[in-house]
């Protein structure tokens, strides 16, 4: 058994990735209340903020005439949904450890990278499913980027999901409790998301805040989503700061960084 | 199957396992007996490649735990002390994931699952969520899961802790059946002394050290002989008389006014004692030593069953 060939070994690891992915997906389907909750949250945001703030912003300096705050907000909400779904999915490792199932995975004859990859892909798939459901709203909001646009959106969403699930996994493997994770949530993830331009644009904020927004990597993710969704409408001119390829490069580098971080920090042994 | 030499683990200042050595043979049931905190789980985790040893060497099915962890993991099955099932999934789903992780082809896995679930008498609960299982059912499911990929060595960390007597006996039944049918070596820990009698050999571990290693009978005759208890009206006189007549014999007062004689050949001493002191002795009992006696002798204390089972209950509840 020790000398199984390289290709069988590869096949075995791929099957391990698939198995871990499948478990995530089985849980996702089983826990339909969580799915509904995760879908309802962005819809509630969209509804309340969209209606509540629409009159405030309509006709102001921010929005070109004829466009709504909902249209402004939608890309940010989509990004948020992908971000939180993938993050929460990956930190389920903490629960797995708490309830013991993690040991079953750790003692299995599979490599550490397969575990990390399976978990990340599981989280990313869940995030993409939710993102895709939200994308179905686009035509009703007067946003339609075309099929190529949808593919680009998927790519960006996938990269955001990989970034956050990688980050979540790296954190979760070094954290024994949900409390520590709550701290990170409140003091790192929430501010990053608030400053990403999802709620208000870069233009017109104080310069220190503009600086923070510029170094917030999520800004580029939201910018990319906006760019694709608005296409060549006047909204794009007013709100999109960078080219798609520029945003894509940054988001892709982030995803790569998070993946490597997760691989490095996710350790098997207890020392 | 297992060759362990000078295996050692330190957690900072805590010296959890202090250089232990032993061997487990093919198809042997090897018991690891020790009180809470003795280092049983730590040893098992080192052998299962989950904890890196501080020093020493261990071969599992011929593979080194430090340098060939993948091969070791492929050769072993393990049932942890704390539950490690995904209780939001069904029993069938848990078993299926296990088979996939260990590369068991799915047609083989289906047949194995059927066979093993019949053995642990859970065949009717296959499609139910583990959440709805009792502690004993979970444990049995875990044992079945640990065997799914036909390991050469099965590690069981207190597989019967916190279970009722009936379930414990059932689990022991499976363990013996397994050894017969699959030739698997079983390395198990327990702190139930009566259970250790089911093992082929036992190592008694205390404070991270193996203090004795032998068959249950060997341990008993090595560390405690037979015990003859003499009921009498006048223990002091009897005690003195026996001491005078047979100075080499080990005699001591019992806790309730009896006289206790410890000797390797109890059966031949009973008639001699009765014959010599027939007027002083009202009743005689002869008892074989229990592992309890051995344990107390070796560690200087009894395993406190009540304490242990309170811990077990807490552990089992965590699975709910
Ligand atoms: N991760 C850890 N970090 C620090 N100390 C540890 C760790 N794991 C175990 N120990 C210590 O090592 C010693 C042995 O623990 P171990 O879990 O091996 O005991 P055990 O024989 O399995 O006991 P029990 O019957 O309670 O399960 C204990 O003193 C324990 O506190
Ligand atoms: Mg233990």
Ligand 2 center–CA B82 separation, angstroms: 9
Residues A237-256: tens digit of each pLDDT = 777 888 899 999 999 999 99
Mutation to probe ligand 1, out of B38, B311, B313, B314 (largest number of atoms < 8 A from CB): B38
Q: Does residue A241 contact residue B23 with C-beta atoms inside 8 Å?
A: no
| Residue A97 token pair | 């450890």
Q: Does residue B263 contact residue B287 with C-beta atoms inside 8 Å?
A: no
| Residue B36 token pair | 């809470």
Concatenated DSSP letters for B224-278? --EEEEEEES-HHHHHHHHHHH-TTSEEEE-TTS-EEEEES-HHHHHHHHHHHTT
**Which residue, by CA, sits nearest to atom 24 of ligand 1?**
B36
Ligand 1 center–CA B42 separation, angstroms: 6
Ligand 2 center–CA A195 separation, angstroms: 48
Query: Chain A residues with CB inside 8 Å of B85's CB?
Result: 100-101, 104
**Which residue, by CA, sits nearest to atom 7 of ligand 1?**
B11
Does the CB of B258 have a partner CB in chain A at under 8 Å?
no
Q: Which domain holds residue A264?
A: 2-270
Separation between Cα atoms, residue A39 and residue A11, nearest integer Å: 35
Write out chain B's pLDDT in tens, 320 residues.
899 999 999 999 999 999 999 999 999 999 998 888 899 999 999 999 999 999 999 999 999 999 999 899 999 999 998 889 998 899 999 999 999 999 999 899 999 999 899 888 899 999 999 999 998 899 999 999 999 999 999 999 998 877 788 888 888 888 888 888 888 999 999 877 777 888 999 999 989 999 989 998 888 777 667 888 899 988 889 999 999 999 988 888 877 788 888 887 888 889 999 998 888 888 898 887 767 767 777 776 655 444 444 444 455 444 44
The pocket around ligand 1, CB under 6 angstroms, is made up of A 270; B 11, 14, 16, 34, 36-42, 81, 191
The helix (run of H) or strand (run of E) holding residue B42 is helix B40-47
- Strand-pairing partners, residue B90, are B129
CB neighbours (10 Å) of residue A208? 8
Concatenated DSSP letters for B304-316? -HHHHHHHHHHHH
Find the residue in B nearest to A95 (Cα): B86
**Which residue, by CA, sits nearest to atom 19 of ligand 1?**
B37
Overall domain count for chain A:
1
Supply the pLDDT for residue B189.
Answer: 92
Separation between Cα atoms, residue B146 and residue B98, nearest integer Å: 9
In this predicted model, which residue has the larger pLDDT, B264 or A57? Answer: B264
Listed by number, the residues of chain B in 12-71 with a beta carbon closer than 8 Å to a beta carbon of chain A are 45, 48-52, 63, 68, 70-71
The model carries a pTM of 0.81
């Amino acid at each position: 058994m020790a000398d199984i060939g390289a290709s069988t070994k590869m096949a075995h690891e791929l099957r391990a990735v698939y198995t871990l992915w499948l478990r995530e997906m089985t849980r996702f389907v089983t826990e339909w209340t969580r799915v509904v909750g995760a879908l309802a949250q962005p819809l509630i945001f969209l509804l309340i903020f969209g209606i509540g703030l629409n009159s405030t912003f309509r006709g102001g300096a921010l929005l070109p005439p004829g466009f709504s705050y909902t249209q402004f907000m939608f890309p940010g909400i989509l990004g948020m949904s992908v971000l939180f779904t993938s993050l929460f999915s990956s930190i389920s490792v903490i629960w797995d450890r708490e309830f013991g199932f993690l040991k079953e995975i750790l003692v299995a004859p599979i490599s550490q990278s397969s575990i990390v990859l399976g978990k990340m892909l599981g989280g990313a798939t869940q995030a993409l499913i939710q993102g895709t459901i939200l994308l179905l709203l686009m035509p009703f909001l007067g946003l339609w980027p075309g099929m190529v646009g949808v593919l680009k959106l998927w790519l960006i969403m996938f990269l955001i999901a990989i970034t956050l699930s990688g980050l979540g996994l790296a954190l979760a493997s070094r954290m024994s409790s949900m409390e520590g994770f709550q701290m990170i949530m409140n003091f790192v993830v929430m501010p990053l998301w608030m400053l990403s331009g999802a709620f208000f644009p870069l233009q017109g904020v104080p310069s220190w805040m503009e600086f923070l927004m510029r170094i917030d990597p999520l800004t580029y993710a939201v910018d990319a989503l906006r760019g694709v969704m608005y296409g060549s409408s006047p909204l794009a001119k007013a709100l999109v700061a960078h080219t798609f390829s520029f945003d894509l490069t940054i988001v892709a580098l982030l995803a790569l960084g998070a993946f490597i971080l997760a691989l490095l920090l996710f350790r098997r042994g207890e020392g | 199957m297992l060759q362990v030499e000078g295996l050692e683990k330190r957690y900072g200042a805590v010296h959890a396992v202090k250089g232990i050595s032993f061997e487990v043979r093919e198809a042997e049931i090897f018991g690891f007996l020790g009180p809470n905190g003795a280092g049983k789980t730590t040893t098992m985790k080192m052998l299962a490649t989950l904890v890196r040893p501080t020093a020493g060497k261990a071969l599992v099915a011929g593979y080194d735990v430090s340098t060939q962890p993948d091969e070791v993991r492929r050769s072993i099955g393990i049932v942890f002390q704390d539950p490690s099932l995904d209780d939001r999934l069904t029993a069938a789903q848990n078993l299926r994931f296990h088979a996939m992780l260990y590369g068991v082809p799915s047609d083989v896995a289906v047949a194995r699952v059927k066979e093993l679930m019949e053995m642990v008498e859970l065949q009717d609960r296959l499609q139910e969520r583990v959440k709805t299982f009792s502690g004993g059912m979970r444990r049995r499911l875990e044992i079945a899961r640990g065997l799914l990929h036909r390991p050469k060595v099965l590690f069981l960390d207190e597989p019967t802790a916190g279970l009722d007597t009936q379930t414990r006996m059932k689990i022991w039944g499976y363990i013996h059946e397994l050894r017969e049918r699959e030739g698997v070596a079983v390395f198990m820990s327990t702190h139930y002394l009566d259970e250790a009698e089911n093992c082929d050999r036992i190592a008694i571990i205390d404070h991270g050290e193996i203090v004795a290693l032998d068959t249950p009978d060997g341990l008993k005759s090595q560390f405690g002989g037979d015990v003859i208890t003499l009921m009498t009206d006048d223990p002091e006189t009897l005690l003195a008389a026996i001491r005078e007549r047979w100075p080499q014999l080990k005699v001591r007062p019992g806790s309730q006014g009896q006289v206790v004689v410890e000797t390797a050949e109890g059966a031949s001493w009973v008639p001699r004692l009765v014959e010599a002191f027939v007027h002083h002795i009202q009743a005689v009992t002869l008892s074989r030593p229990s592992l309890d006696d051995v344990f107390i002798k070796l560690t200087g204390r009894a395993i406190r069953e009540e304490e242990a089972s309170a811990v077990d209950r807490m552990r089992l509840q965590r699975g709910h």
